[in-house]
Structure 1
């Protein structure tokens, strides 16, 4: 292996004007000897660059030469004196990537900037909605095809998801609904007591829990718990290229990953909603018994006679839609994950936020729809 020669330079005056003469090997292993000296070069603008004595040169040495030339204020490109195999090309390449970046323009905070952000947000919302609807259509076609060919359904995956996302979520949903029912009963008892109408607390609990709170609480808990789980699972598979491996084996991600989760959530969400509704009614019954001295038998009899059964079916009719939307958003965001951990975290956050947003918006749409139907 050839030994390296120490680099050197000199800024001299000759017939060609001021000349920056280079000597020795300018490589990453040697240029640290000259860094401080080259930073101190100033005051004289060289007219040409002499490379006749230059030995080995790599991009690190070329960068140091380019930096020195620029700090003297000399025009580019330099007039090169002497012969060298790679000096001219390396200096051109390094200089092309060493141009000082232009300062960023100051942020515009005026009306035009606000309109620009509004327009960009609207376009992004349109694109996201369109992509979600396209994914919904693809999912429905896949599920319809699998239902028409039930032997292709992955029953083991469906049952596993039903247990993980359904049965395991039942305790927390029942717990939350029980306490929400208690809160509704306390509010009703406190407010209606001023009008000597405490008995109507039963109707308040019945209508609110059967029609709204049972299914909405279930949807929000699933959006927070199941969405994050599904998105993280599918995103991790995407990062590990497991989905690409499936496609190589001839397996479709929609059949293997998405369809079992969608079917499991559509089946389990009504069951969870039913449990949440019963728990909420039980919480309201406990408060009515403790605070209003309303016997549970009286409570149930009055609810049976005063709250129509169609209120129960209104709440239950929303649950499959909520389950479908929650699982759909979770699977789509999981499939959007790239190869980095940051994209996985972003997709998980987006999945939860979109899931909760979709539950609230859909519930409002259902409320308007049933109001127009007079239910």
Structure 2
């Protein structure tokens, strides 16, 4: 905190404590010493003494009061705030304070402080129930805004795809191949591992429960239908949302912070066409492939556990699986994948473009991207489940 010095000011090491003194001959209060933050609580005590000395300790004191600042050595923002608070307190008690003898730097600092609000805002107490309703209302309004912005952004993406389709030479194939490599090839090992483990867990729990009824082979039906219709694509989408969706938001957000997106616009390039379209197309291509691989891995894990834990041999497992599932079971999961991919890509890119110029903002939007994408993937899966149930598909 910088301090302003009068011409005769002493160095900080030789500073004296701030103090107001009554000057009976002049009918004024003379301020002396260094009114700086290094004296801490002394400033507040001096300000209170200044108020009491100016009003005689009576709330109803009247008349003009001269505050002589010619004896002040050093003055910084903390000291100026203390003096301004004392001046306002004197005014509130009915007196008329007038500042004299301030050097030009001191007068300028006091003038700046006098224009600032020094009082803390009053906290209005409300009931917890009202606060809860306010929070719910704010969340609903924010959700509505996110929905509208998502629809608008999706329209921009579709328009950019239309422009690319009309002018294929503008399409960035290298970017698309790079995104498929990052999303599908590099993400495949962890998705295969998690799907294998989940398939094994489903088989173990299914066999454990069905053994009580002597129907352990029916666990094959459970594994096949549950994995192909729901878990394969759902696990893949959640992993892609957490891995690739967060990467999209961080990449685009970092470009936004460095003003690279503005530079693209200056060069006459559309950021949606350059940054967003390849990423969303990469997701649309990669997620069905990952969902297929995840389903096969989960069925393999379930088959091994069924053989080791339930005594269901591989030939019996395969024969039972062929009876339990058909092409429609497989297609239900594959149909969901492109829609989930578009949802993840749109949310991730919106959050990336919404990043402001700070690392804190980047972290908040990356977190929001992952949370919103996973939530919407689960909601979309539920909507598809109701839709296929209504169609008896």
Question: TM-score when scaled to structure 1?
Answer: 0.86
Q: Secondary structure at the match of 1:177?
A: helix
Matched, 1:11 2:31: no
Question: In 1, are the aligned partners of 2:6 and 2:73 still within 8 Å (CA)?
Answer: no
Q: Secondary structure at the match of 2:132?
A: helix
Q: 2:382 aligns with which of 364, 371, 375?
A: 364
Alignment match, 1:49? 66
Matched, 1:156 2:174: yes
Task: For 2:345 and 2:9, locate their aligned partners in 1 and report how far apart those are by CA, in whole Å.
Answer: 66
Task: For 2:37 and 2:308, locate their aligned partners in 1 and report how far apart those are by CA, in whole Å.
Answer: 84
Alignment match, 1:287? 305
Deviations 1:216-273 (A, max 9, x none): 1101111111111111111111111111111111111101110110000100111101
Alignment match, 2:60? none
Alignment match, 1:204? 222
Alignment match, 2:157? 139
Deviations 1:119-158 (A, max 9, x none): 2221111111111111112112212321332211111111
Q: Secondary structure at the match of 1:203?
A: helix
Task: For 1:177 and 1:30, locate their aligned partners in 2 and report how far apart those are by CA, in whole Å.
Answer: 63
Question: In 1, are the aligned partners of 2:9 and 2:73 still within 8 Å (CA)?
Answer: no
Question: In 2, are the aligned partners of 1:9 and 1:21 still within 8 Å (CA)?
Answer: yes
Report the Cα offset of residue 184 of structure 1.
1.4
Range 56-65 or range 339-348, more displaced? 56-65
Question: In 1, are the aligned partners of 2:183 and 2:244 still within 8 Å (CA)?
Answer: yes
Question: In 2, are the aligned partners of 1:38 and 1:68 still within 8 Å (CA)?
Answer: no
Report the Cα offset of residue 161 of structure 1.
0.9
Range 63-72 or range 267-276, more displaced? 63-72
Which stretches in structure 2 are left out of the alignment for 5+ residues?
11-18, 56-63
Deviations 1:91-122 (A, max 9, x none): 44322315322432335313x33332222221
Matched, 1:97 2:116: yes
Alignment match, 1:345? 363
Task: For 1:275 and 1:128, locate their aligned partners in 2 and report how far apart those are by CA, in whole Å.
Answer: 33
Task: For 2:265 and 2:342, locate their aligned partners in 1 and report how far apart those are by CA, in whole Å.
Answer: 25
Task: For 2:143 and 2:44, locate their aligned partners in 1 and report how far apart those are by CA, in whole Å.
Answer: 54
Which stretches in structure 1 are left out of the alignment for 5+ residues?
none
Q: Secondary structure at the match of 1:194?
A: helix
Question: TM-score when scaled to structure 2?
Answer: 0.83
Deviations 1:297-331 (A, max 9, x none): 33223322331111001111111111111111111
Alignment match, 2:58? none
Change (3 A) 1:5 1:67: farther
After the TM superposition, which residues 220-235 of structure 1 pair with which residues of structure 2 at under 5 Å, given as runs? 220-235=238-253
After the TM superposition, which residues 118-267 of structure 1 pair with which residues of structure 2 at under 5 Å, given as runs? 118-267=136-285
Task: For 1:119 and 1:36, locate their aligned partners in 2 and report how far apart those are by CA, in whole Å.
Answer: 43
Change (3 A) 1:96 1:368: same
Deviations 1:150-199 (A, max 9, x none): 21111111111111111111111111111111111112212222222222
Change (3 A) 1:107 1:345: farther
Range 128-137 or range 41-50, more displaced? 41-50
